A and B are shown apart, each in its own frame.
Chain A
Amino acid sequence: MGLEISANLLAGLALFFIGIKLIGENMKQMAGLGFRRFLGRITRSLALTALSGALAGALVQSATAVTFILTSLVSSRLISISASLPIIAWANIGNSLIVLLAAVDLRLIALLLIAGIGVCYYTNLDKSNRYRAIVGAGLGLGTLLLGLIFMKTGAAPLKQVAWLSQFMSYTKNSYLLAFLFAVGVTLVAQSSTTVVVLGISLARAGLLGPEQTVMIIYGSNLGSGLSVWFMSSNLRGSTRQLPLYQALFKVAGAVVLVVVFYAETYFHVPGVLSMVRALSHDFGTQMAYVFLLFQLVSAAVLAILPSLALRLMEAICPASTEEALNRPQFIYEQALEEPETALNLAEKDCLRLVGYLPQFLDAIREETRENVRLQSGVLSTAVLSVSGEVKTFVTHLIGCQPSEEGLQRALNLERQFDLICSLSTALSEFACLSRESRGVEKLFAFSQQSSEALHMILVTLAENMELPDEVGCSVLQELTSDRSETMLGMRRSLARENSMDPQYYQTLLALTCLFERIVWLINQLGKTTRPARVN
């Protein structure tokens, strides 16, 4: 039985993470302004936030899953961290409300969703540009739900494990032991429901008192919060703030309610037990109220201390350098209402990317290779990510019917971003080839000279795009003019050094061709910049 339980739990966890990854990857492709505006409308309204959070918690029956889905949305910049927090709080409440209202068959939801996705695949909707991302995200959600079912059904036989029931009944004499036991078992079993259901059955059998069962509910909630935190250990930077919020949510509820519990038990101050006894005579319903109360108290504590929670989240999970790099720094959605301002902002983000280009060569240049701030892979991801987002912004801007001049600037920007992306790819390859040539003296010397030359041209390009003037523009065009004759001469001269080694010649050819391509791309990018008009 032990092996089967473990296999179910591990397979469930695996499906859960595969589902999260699928959702995240497809959400990134859906990250258009339309979808962002739709989510923006939901999160701006308190009622819609509460409804969507509670519904998500009730349907998915796991605040953990909702937290990870929201983390994917935050990573794709579809929703902000601050807008996600109330949704998580409401998902916890929705998840506990469903225990009181009616049982939603999660298995049925997952199976119907997967069946629907199967139909989409059968009708080739997964290949359509329009629906591919939605179908992919749906498959991710279906996989995630299947993972949850595996974990829940995998943990269910734990109720029949004799030693577990026996151990739980030992906690009859200690409230704290019951609490700690529930934290531990929830962390291992990944299911607070199983632990709570086991506690309630033992209490009904007279093996546990209502006080211990309450502590088991508190402990299992804290355990599920800690489990979210541990499950998010593969995340980096501020994307880990939401799992931390979910953990803090549970910690807040546990701290307050455990204090209230001891005050009620030892000093007879009316507390949770008195309240739920007044609300219902049925023990199961009383415990469902305790479960709901835990979420309400947690939400209230974090609502009273929002700045403390945010400060903690920012201190423990600050934004990583990569995150800041991968985001546009200037554009924002509301700017689309003012096309002139929007274009200025998009141009500023474009200049920011051009400023990154010389850094691709830091790892190979003599003066900087010992102290590289950002690797070319990181820079390349940043360039592609920011370009993609700003280009979507510019496309929407073109749809807003700007003036003739505005349209020209927007089209010019699109061309600039295309050229920047091509330059980023070519520079990454050049840096990679240069590193590979280290073993061959002449080739390495050539790559060093080329990198110094390219660095200078790229810095000149950035300077010229920021403050274009007549002399600067014409000089840049001269610097990047056709040099195929020069390169041919250098290639022949270097080829004579080691003409017998095909590997040497292949690297030489690739390096010189890439060099020419980079110079040509800079030339084209330079042509998109017009000198400022002098009044």
Chain B
Amino acid sequence: MQNPATLELNGRIDNATSADVEAQINALLDAMPRALIVDMTSVNFVSSLGLRVLLTMAKRCRRENVKVALHSVTSQVTSVLQLSGLVAVLPLHPNRDSALSSVA
């Protein structure tokens, strides 16, 4: 097991970008980290497909016993995550430190 992996996402996670985001997540999880921290500071829109990518990530982390946390999520994206129920499987944290301490 290695140190927490970190991933910084930007802009929109939609039909055009989700395949790329999924590939990045899978590459990180293939290295079998003990935790995954996702920085959402610069994400301003998440579509249904983007939400599916995050859900798939959450399910894989659960199966492989990898802790996962999202931090610095904008209010607009927080609303979508709340409406989709993803907050129940992907804990949100106000900042990077809080996220890191949650997976420690």
Contact = CB atoms under 8 A, between A and B. Distances in A.
B100 interface: no
B89 A367 contact: no
Interface stretch (A71-79, A177-185, A395-403, A455-463): A455-463
B52 A459 contact: yes
A481 interface: yes
A265 interface: no
A456 B52 contact: yes
Nearest to B84: A453
Contacts of B83: 449-450, 453-454, 486, 490, 515
Contacts of A515: 83
B63 A366 contact: no
B80 A460 contact: no
Contacts of A449: 76, 79-80, 83
Contact of A486 (B59, B63, B82): B82
Interface string A15-44: 000000000000000000000000000000
Interface in A430-486: 446, 449-450, 452-457, 459-460, 471-472, 475, 478-481, 483, 486
Chain B interface mostly helix, strand, loop or mixed?
helix
Contacts, number: 71
Contacts of A486: 82-83
A471 B62 contact: yes
Interface stretch (B28-36, B43-51, B91-99): B43-51
Contacts of B80: 449, 452-453
Nearest to A481: B88
Contacts of A475: 55, 58-59, 62, 89
Contact of A456 (B55, B63, B82, B89): B55
Nearest to A480: B85
Given A456-B51, A475-B55, A367 B14 contact: yes
Nearest to B15: A367
A478 B47 contact: no
B80 to A, nearest CB: 5
B54 to A, nearest CB: 9
Which among A365, A449, A455, A490 has the highest number of chain B CB atoms within 10 Å? A449
A453 B87 CA distance: 12
Contacts of A446: 79
Contacts of A55: none
B9 interface: no
Given A367-B47, A449-B79, A478 B55 contact: no
B84 A478 contact: no
B25 to A, nearest CB: 16
B86 interface: yes
Interface in A485-535: 486, 490, 515, 519
21 contacts: A358-B48, A365-B47, A365-B48, A367-B49, A446-B79, A452-B47, A453-B48, A453-B80, A454-B83, A455-B48, A457-B84, A457-B85, A471-B62, A471-B63, A472-B59, A475-B58, A475-B59, A478-B88, A478-B89, A483-B82, A490-B79
Interface of A: 358, 365-367, 446, 449-450, 452-457, 459-460, 471-472, 475, 478-481, 483, 486, 490, 515, 519
